[in-house]
């Protein structure tokens, strides 16, 4: 399915019937990756899941976006369905968008439950070694960006960027690279305590992108939160251990609110 949000043709899935669940995917992913989750939840709920701008079949934004820009987009997307109550399931980058969205005042809807799967949002603290490495990289980049050295070594800066950059960064278009820089450098930890609905955290204990320590910190900050750990799984625990994750999702969504 496709609907226009401003000038962006948004691809989305709308399956099942019943109480509504909104699913927000992770960075570099798209809704098809979450097929097992969607099929499981759609047996008892109506699941709405968009490809966020820049991912899957939805075109990238017209300029680099921040997490706030994605939250604005999701608000507009929700408004097209006239939703007043729903639960939310997020993975990785989708968690960032949720924390920003949840922190907005006077929202025209109620979020009843939240599931955070290997969610991003807490800015990792850099070690002394990492800080020194970053300073050296920036200094070298500045030197190689001078007019003479750019003329002599036109590919040097791009080569440095590729060697230092993550796979997500190197595989992205210029707009999405700039978006990624905006996204990953914002610490959303101060917003996490604002989550007041019941929350379930599902985490791979071998997740290196958003480590288990992040899950434990989120569990501390959210008043009504529980943690399900997937032993031996990484950042995509829902794909590595679908039976465990889907069972936890089903039980949580079917539990009445106290």
- For every one of its 258 residues, what pLDDT tens digit does the chain have, with 9 covering 90 and above? 999 999 999 999 999 999 999 999 999 999 999 999 999 999 999 999 999 999 999 999 999 999 999 999 999 999 999 999 999 999 999 999 999 999 999 999 999 999 999 999 999 765 445 445 446 545 545 656 777 656 666 776 566 555 655 677 777 899 999 999 999 999 999 999 999 999 999 999 999 999 999 999 999 999 999 999 999 999 999 999 999 999 999 999 998 865
Please identify which residue in the block is written with the tokens 């943690």. Answer: 227
pTM of this structure: 0.86
Options 1.25.40.10, 3.40.50.1820, 3.30.1330.20, 3.40.50.970; CATH of 2-123+186-254: 3.40.50.1820
Joined together, the tokens standing for residue 207 give: 């997740």
**Could you tell me the maximum CA-CA distance found in the chain, to the nearest angstrom?**
68
In the chain, CATH 3.40.50.1820 covers 2-123+186-254
d(C-alpha 19, C-alpha 110), whole Å: 12
A 10 A CB-CB count for 29 gives: 19
Among the listed residues 134, 6, 121, 135, the one whose alpha carbon sits nearest the alpha carbon of residue 61: 6
């Amino acid at each position: 399915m496709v609907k226009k949000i401003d000038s962006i043709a948004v691809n989305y899935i709308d399956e099942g019937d019943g109480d509504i669940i909104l699913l927000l995917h992770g960075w570099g992913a798209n809704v098809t990756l979450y097929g097992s989750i969607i099929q499981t939840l759609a047996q008892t709920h109506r699941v709405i899941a968009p490809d966020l701008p820049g991912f899957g079949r939805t075109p990238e934004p017209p300029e680099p976006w921040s997490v706030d820009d994605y939250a604005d987009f999701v608000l507009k997307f929700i408004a097209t369905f006239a939703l007043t109550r729903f639960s939310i399931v997020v993975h990785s980058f989708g968690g960032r968008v949720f924390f920003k969205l949840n922190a907005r005042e006077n929202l025209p809807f109620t979020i009843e439950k939240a599931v955070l799967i290997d969610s991003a949002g807490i800015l990792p603290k850099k070690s002394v070694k990492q800080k020194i490495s970053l300073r050296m990289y920036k200094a070298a980049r500045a030197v190689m960006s001078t007019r003479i050295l750019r003329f002599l070594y036109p590919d040097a800066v791009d080569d440095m960027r590729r060697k230092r950059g993550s796979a997500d960064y190197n595989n992205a278009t210029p707009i999405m690279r700039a978006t990624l820089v905006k996204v990953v450098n914002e610490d959303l930890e101060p917003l996490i305590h604002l989550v007041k609905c019941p929350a379930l955290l599902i985490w791979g204990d071998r997740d290196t992108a958003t480590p288990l320590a992040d899950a434990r910190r989120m569990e501390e900050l959210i008043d009504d939160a529980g943690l399900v750990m997937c032993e031996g799984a990484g950042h995509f625990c829902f794909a590595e251990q679908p039976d465990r994750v889907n069972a936890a999702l089903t039980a949580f969504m079917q539990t009445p609110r106290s």
